[in-house]
Structure 1
Amino acid sequence: MAAGSAEGAGGCDTGRIRPGLALALLFALAGCGGFGGEAAPEAAPAPASAAMPETPPLPDRVGDEAALRQFYANVQSDLIATGRLRLETAPADAPYGVPELVRDFERVALYNEYTDVNGEFLHQESPSILRRWTVPIRVAAMASPSTPRESAHDRGNVAAFTKRLARLSGTDMAMADDASVNFLVLFMNSSEREAFADQIRQRYPTFAPAVMNALRDTPLDTFCTTYAFFDPENPALYASVLILIRAEHPPLTKLSCVHEEMAQAMGLPNDSPEARPSLFSDSLEFALLTEHDEILLRMLYDPRLRPGMTAEEARPLLPDIARDAIAAEQRDGGAPGLAVN
């Protein structure tokens, strides 16, 4: 699912999804202990050619797991029926080249879609800075103990995608299960949220304040959420990430949340209606990370770019970086037919 994000220095950002309406929203997270910071809402229209599905009624009770599963399954079915959640990663009907990659990278990596104006977040795009990881990334996935087979599958998806992100970014990124964890992915069952919070508090106490806020305030129409925390000494560097994904989702929706949230948490927090084929678009057209998005990740971690760069500083470098990223993608067997020019 598409989710935008906006970022606050020394703080945290968070994104959430409204199913069916294809909205990506961000909200302020004030006073979250040592993780306090800013965020902002984001929303963009889907392509005019696609009819928006009607949103099914929400279940009356948070703890009604069967009703929640049916609700989210209906949303997924409606999105697929209207041409969304496509599984292609390099579709012939969405060509792109260096100019499009440069444009999309600038919008996705170097801009915020919402601006804080007198304490209110307005849908007004504003320049940001390049943010990425420079410390080792240690990923853990926690899932509901009440569904062991499903939970094992979810953790397997996180582990597989962690390897993929490590390869694309060239970062020291791996799964872990100790105090080194700074990238936590939670598959949250609504009826077990309190017990889940207690488990997290015991195993990963540094995440506890943010987890408690997230579990307490996550509404039913929030599909998946990312909280990104920045180094208080350098707001261009990520320090830790918390991702919340509803365990009641059907498999494709959960996998889409894994791809989108984990990829955005690497430093591609914005969405662009022009980016295609891409997860980083509110159209929800594509369900999984595309080859276009893989190239954006390669560009983000190119050594010619540095954390803290503005769009003006990065822009002259981006065409050559895009060409080299395309070439690397082609060497790895992706990006078929793209010209390196």
Structure 2
Amino acid sequence: MSLTLSLPRPAPSRSRHPRRIALGLGLLALVACGAPEMRAPREDSTPELLTVSAQRIELPPMKRFTTAPKTTPRRSNVQMAQDFMDLSFRLETGATLPVFSRFEGPISVRVVGAQVPTTLNADLGDLLDRLKREAGLDIALVPRTSPAAITIELVPAAAFRKRAPNTACIAAADVSSWAEFRAARAASWTTVRTRTRAAIFIPTGGTPQDVRDCLHEELAQALGPLNDLFRLPDSVFNDDNIHSVLTGFDMLMLRATYAPELRSGLTREQVAALIVPLLDRLNPAGRGGGLARVDTTPHDWIANVTRAMDGGALSARRAAATRAVAIAQNRGWSDNRAGLSYFLLGRLQQGQNTEAARANLEQARRLFTGSSLTEIAAAHATLHLAAIDLVRGDYPSALADLDPAIATATRAQNAALLSSLMLTKAEALLRIGRAGEAQAVRLDSLGWARYGFGSDRDVYAHIADIQALAR
């Protein structure tokens, strides 16, 4: 999760750790969304070092996604109008925004700072093209020496962590540099009536996917909605960290934000009177639906889910996940929030209680599989279930659902998840004697692993972890 700050009272961290979707395989378990660590949950603090044949694999060039994901919003406009209001008039702190705000006129973006990764410019260019095409924004990149409405600054990691620990990236109002942000005392999203400038801060040293994911979420929030809602199954505006790139829903929210019917300074009541007809114009397929009843997300569930996704003692995190499941059951949920509750509990039980972990992960996948809006979440659960099957030596079961999950991860453009699924498939194929197929799948996965996990050392460690599961 990211951090959208209002000063002088900053919003609390949304438990977004340096790896937005922290995917990794450990000796006994896989780590996926919402987890800060690269390795499996372990009770000890000194993970075993492995020396395996993976160390001698020659890595191919990095791969990156070059086409836009094809997703469309699939809920009624009435429902999405409520989402728009909740996203646009409230901050995660609970503070309400007195008026609607956006940039008026053309929007310029620049990139400054040290150690700008080579992939950033390409990924930013792709994102800006999508914002123009899908959200209808008048937005363009300008030279780093030019003034800009939105400044993206790469900040030395040590300085960033000192100011914002346990945070992947930041979007801040009414500043244009890290130095200005550190010195600011009065800037606040709650006082903004028309957006004129904002800044996005990203620490150096992140993987290509980390940086891209920060670009997507923080640029979207600097431009439009400032809130996150756990109830949204198909959006980056959700603290579950399931989605890596902007979805069709997110683009619709941004297109509505910059529609001619709206303008900065409108009150909540004025926007509420306009938003349904506006969405009907922009999204004819969503006309005619009603407002589906969605139970309000209680604060105690949010607190427990955040605790389960955060760092700290595994016993405390498991207890928090157990409480989240109980709350979901008591409220009769069967949506993405229920699925997330079971998923977190199952993930944290891996290596501690395998059968309970499997049961909870299977329940999570059943809930996620019930809707096309949550297929990427189902792919995360599939990865963990396949890991358990590798440990058990049940290689056919490990293979059973990997191909659909690989296709889903590809559509969602999540290279870390995609490479993890492919490497798991390769290991299962190898164990059942299909070495040629295993080699082809592994080779195909490595370019994605370099994008998702960054350094060669981390890629090799990832391969070693997966091989260790099947021993």
For normalisation by structure 2, the TM-score amounts to 0.44
Q: Distance in 1 between matches of 2:74 and 2:161?
A: 43
Alignment of 1:66-81 (within 5 A): none
Seen in structure 2, the aligned counterparts of structure 1 residues 12 and 246 have a Cα distance that, compared at 3 Å, is same
- Partner letter of residue 141 of structure 2? M
2:79 aligned residue? 100
**Unaligned stretches of 5+ in structure 2?**
21-30, 39-67, 176-186, 289-471
Conserved? CA contact 2:236–2:244, under 8 Å: yes
- Partner letter of residue 150 of structure 2? F
Q: Distance in 2 between matches of 1:135 and 1:54?
A: 39
Out of 132, 139, 142, the position equivalent to 1:166 is 132
Q: Does 2:79 correspond to 1:134? A: no
C-alpha deviation, 1:14, in angstroms: 6.7
Conserved? CA contact 1:271–1:280, under 8 Å: yes
- Partner letter of residue 222 of structure 2? A
Seen in structure 2, the aligned counterparts of structure 1 residues 217 and 135 have a Cα distance that, compared at 3 Å, is farther
Q: More helix per residue: 1 or 2?
A: 2
Q: Distance in 1 between matches of 2:207 and 2:161?
A: 23
Conserved? CA contact 1:127–1:310, under 8 Å: no
Q: Distance in 2 between matches of 1:161 and 1:52?
A: 22
1:278 aligned residue? 235
- Partner letter of residue 169 of structure 2? C
Out of 114, 117, 130, the position equivalent to 1:144 is 114
Seen in structure 2, the aligned counterparts of structure 1 residues 89 and 268 have a Cα distance that, compared at 3 Å, is farther
Percent identical among aligned pairs is 20
Conserved? CA contact 1:20–1:52, under 8 Å: no
C-alpha deviation, 1:247, in angstroms: 2.6
Out of 137, 148, 169, the position equivalent to 1:224 is 169
1:301 aligned residue? 258
Alignment of 1:285-296 (within 5 A): 285-296=242-253
Matched residues, number: 236
C-alpha deviation, 1:51, in angstroms: 9.2
Which structure has the greater CA radius of gyration?
Answer: 2
Instruction: List structure 1 segments (4+ residues) > 3 angstroms apart after TM superposition.
Output: 5-8, 11-17, 19-23, 50-57, 87-91, 166-172, 338-341
Out of 15, 18, 21, the position equivalent to 2:15 is 18
Q: Does 2:91 correspond to 1:112? A: yes
**Unaligned stretches of 5+ in structure 1?**
24-49, 58-86, 115-123, 194-214, 328-337
Superposed CA offset, 1:217-255 (max 9, x none): 4344220001121899x8311121111112322222221
Q: Distance in 1 between matches of 2:12 and 2:109?
A: 19
For normalisation by structure 1, the TM-score amounts to 0.59
Secondary structure at 1:111 match in 2: coil
Q: Distance in 2 between matches of 1:300 and 1:172?
A: 13
What is the root-mean-square deviation in Å for CA atoms of aligned residues?
3.6
Q: Does 2:217 correspond to 1:236? A: no
Which structure carries more relative contact order (alpha carbon 8 Å, separation 6+)? 1
